[in-house]
Structure 1
Amino acid sequence: MISFSLAFLTACGNGASGEEETEAAAVPVVEVRIDSVRSGNIPEVITATGMTKVLRQESISSPIDGKVTALRVLEGDAVKQGQVIAVVATREALAAITGAELLQSRAQTPEETKRAAAALALAQRNNTALEVCAPFDGVIVARALNENEFVNAGGALATIIDLRSLYFLAKLPARELSHLKSGQEATVNFQSWPEKLYPCKVENIQPQIDPVAQMAEVRLRFLAPAAELRSEMFGSAGIVIGDHQNALLVPDKAVLRNDETGAYTIVAAAGDSLGIIHEITPGIETPETVEISGDGIHPGMHIIVEGHYGLPDSTRIHVVQ
């Protein structure tokens, strides 16, 4: 949609001088490009912002008090169910090993050395180190500590999420709730991939709204897996709430808006030789198409899409390909 102001048109018109009469004999012809009004369907869409979330997230914790002797994952690592994430040794086992090592370091006679070695071997055999495994296929999003640190029973080792449970949580004004229902089609796009639309469906409308901001939350389910997406990614969603049938549709660049009067117009190519201005009322808009209505507008009508900015009514035109 193109905007212009009357001031621009007036300035263009005030350039006339005493040469007007001689120039009148040579009426200028403006070269333009045209398209056609078409009849078709256009979806009615509510837009909303939001971010990706996951339904399945779990903190991997230690079942015992002990020392983390191994932590085998980093943030961002993909893991499989049952894969060893960490190894935790009990405090008692570590104390026994430490005591045996101390005895060995203080041994002075061959007999003391032999007894200390036997104690150390026994302590090492009784070392009840516990392997902690991934509960499901997923991605590690956080490590709670590092190797050789101590952890209490129930203490977190790492956090894992299941990207297969990824969804988009959209936030929109509560006044739009009456238009929404489960199963409606939607698309989501992200700044990282501005040209890509991810198809979704409305899965759940949250029962509570923010009482201060009067915003509602809607959960959108992705219809196809997308390996590049991650949790907590900001994006925008378009939820289809209806469809206008047999609407009059024109390219977005065909519509002109007067910034001073707020009027919308298109310029028809009458007989492909005159530019005739028609005032219209715009309806639903998409990035490339606008629904319009107005007197004398009909499917198949030729309209100007290039060269019509600031064009006076009934200007002679020449259509170029």
Structure 2
Amino acid sequence: MQKLVTLYLLLMIACFNSCKPKDSVQEDASVESRTPVTITSISSAPMEDYVELNATSSFLQKWMVRANATGYLQLANVSLNKYVAKGQNLFSIKTKEAQSIGNSISILDSTFKFSGVNTIKAEESGFISQIDHQSGEYVQDGEQLAVITDTKSFAFLLDMPYELRPYLLNKKSLEINLPDGEKLTGIISGNMPTMDAASQTQKIILKINVSHPIPENLIAKVRVIKSSKNNTSSLPRAAVLTDETQSDFWVMKMIDSTTAVKVPVKKGIETTDKIEILSPVFSSTDKILLTGNYSLPDTAKVQIIQ
């Protein structure tokens, strides 16, 4: 009899454990299956569709100072980065023949002053950017002695793909962003008549007006705006999902406090952090998943975290 009572109690305990805890386990499992997510909402602000190109600083005009005779440099009145004015004496050259004749004449008649020195002057104003010979060196007629860079010819050369040409036809200026964060206004003053054969880009000349010097060969960034809208609805880029072929796009929208559903969208302008949403029309109160939305099914249980 005692064995029967014991068996009966064991069956009652097993039945109790198999009923009540089952609902509790299912409830816990449903809570644990919720994906933690963060949310965002639609925003309305101006947007621009642009392409960012490189522009290199350059001096478009440089003057070559050349020897006008064969001989020895008697004077080299030049130094790097020194500003010279138009007509300023830069070099003087004395030929071997002039030096020989001058010594002979001086011996015969000291009152006869003969120098035989040729003076080379600056053809234009600018600064000395290159020096090839110094005083005392022997040079040939026509040999390059120095280079004068015209500071007034400073400009940025924008490497523009030819297919972007329509976006510059009605523009007079572009914004130039220097590596240190400085922003300059570049005035479009013309373009080079040739294309780079390899990259198929054309150089656009951008003139600037600044009070401080900018070094040559500095690479800056220039934004060429393709289209812009003053007020458009957009979402952060992370909120918009797509398939492997990037042909379909959608977002995960909350329909209650724990459920998110898949909503197909049509996108417009894209920037580095925003995507324009053309359709459907979302309200400012709609909650869109921002993180944790990747690979979620059409209807998913989620848990919003702060």
TM-score with structure 2 setting the length:
0.68
Which moved further from structure 2: 259-268 or 238-247?
259-268
Residues 315, 215 of structure 1: CA spacing in aligned structure 2 closer, same or farther, 3 A cutoff?
same
Q: Partner of 1:251 in structure 2?
A: 236
Residues 131, 205 of structure 1: CA spacing in aligned structure 2 closer, same or farther, 3 A cutoff?
closer
Q: Partner of 1:293 in structure 2?
A: 278
Q: Partner of 2:205 in structure 1?
A: 219
Q: Partners in 1 of 2:265 and 2:46 — Cα distance?
A: 18
Q: Is the 8 A contact 1:38 1:250 kept in 2?
A: yes
Q: Partners in 2 of 1:269 and 1:74 — Cα distance?
A: 72
Residues 172, 247 of structure 1: CA spacing in aligned structure 2 closer, same or farther, 3 A cutoff?
same
Q: Partner of 1:60 in structure 2?
A: 65
Q: Partners in 2 of 1:219 and 1:300 — Cα distance?
A: 48
Q: Offset of 1:235 from its aligned partner? A: 4.8
Q: Partner of 2:302 in structure 1?
A: 316
Q: Partner of 1:3 in structure 2?
A: none
Q: Partners in 1 of 2:254 and 2:296 — Cα distance?
A: 12
Q: Offset of 1:26 from its aligned partner? A: 1.9
Aligned length: 280
Q: Offset of 1:277 from its aligned partner? A: 3.7
- 1:167 aligns with one of 155, 159, 169: 155
Q: Offset of 1:164 from its aligned partner? A: 4.3
Residues 143, 261 of structure 1: CA spacing in aligned structure 2 closer, same or farther, 3 A cutoff?
same
- Structure 2 matches for 1:1-321, cutoff 5 A? 21=26, 23-73=28-78, 77-81=81-85, 86-91=90-95, 92-96=97-101, 99=103, 119=110, 126=115, 128=117, 130=119, 132-133=121-122, 135-138=124-127, 140-152=128-140, 154-189=142-177, 193=179, 197-206=183-192, 209=195, 215-222=201-208, 224=210, 227-230=213-216, 232-260=217-245, 262-268=247-253, 274-298=259-283, 301-312=286-297, 313-320=299-306
Q: Partners in 2 of 1:236 and 1:133 — Cα distance?
A: 35
| Letter paired with 1:255 | V
SS at match of 1:228: coil
Q: Partners in 2 of 1:225 and 1:291 — Cα distance?
A: 40
Q: Partners in 1 of 2:98 and 2:241 — Cα distance?
A: 80
SS at match of 1:135: coil
Q: Partners in 2 of 1:205 and 1:244 — Cα distance?
A: 29
Q: Offset of 1:194 from its aligned partner? A: 7.1
Q: Is the 8 A contact 2:266 2:280 kept in 1?
A: no
Q: Partners in 1 of 2:209 and 2:284 — Cα distance?
A: 35
Give ranges in structure 1 of 5+ residues lacking alignment: 1-19, 104-114
Q: Partners in 1 of 2:78 and 2:85 — Cα distance?
A: 13
Q: Offset of 1:64 from its aligned partner? A: 4.8
Q: Partners in 2 of 1:180 and 1:228 — Cα distance?
A: 25
| Letter paired with 1:281 | K
Q: Is the 8 A contact 1:187 1:200 kept in 2?
A: yes
**RMSD of aligned residue pairs (Cα, Å):** 4.1
Residues 54, 265 of structure 1: CA spacing in aligned structure 2 closer, same or farther, 3 A cutoff?
farther
Q: Offset of 1:253 from its aligned partner? A: 3.6
Residues 26, 303 of structure 1: CA spacing in aligned structure 2 closer, same or farther, 3 A cutoff?
closer
Q: Partners in 2 of 1:194 and 1:258 — Cα distance?
A: 39
Identity of aligned residues (%): 16
- Structure number with higher relative contact order (C-alpha < 8 Å, ≥ 6 residues apart): 1
Give ranges in structure 2 of 5+ residues lacking alignment: 1-24
Residues 136, 290 of structure 1: CA spacing in aligned structure 2 closer, same or farther, 3 A cutoff?
farther
Q: Offset of 1:158 from its aligned partner? A: 1.4
Q: Offset of 1:36 from its aligned partner? A: 3.2
1:197-219 per-residue CA deviation (whole Å, 9 max, x = no partner) reads 54424332455656886544432
Q: Is the 8 A contact 1:182 1:202 kept in 2?
A: no
Q: Partners in 1 of 2:64 and 2:241 — Cα distance?
A: 56
Q: Offset of 1:160 from its aligned partner? A: 2.3
TM-score with structure 1 setting the length:
0.66
Name which one, 1 or 2, has greater alpha-carbon Rg. 2
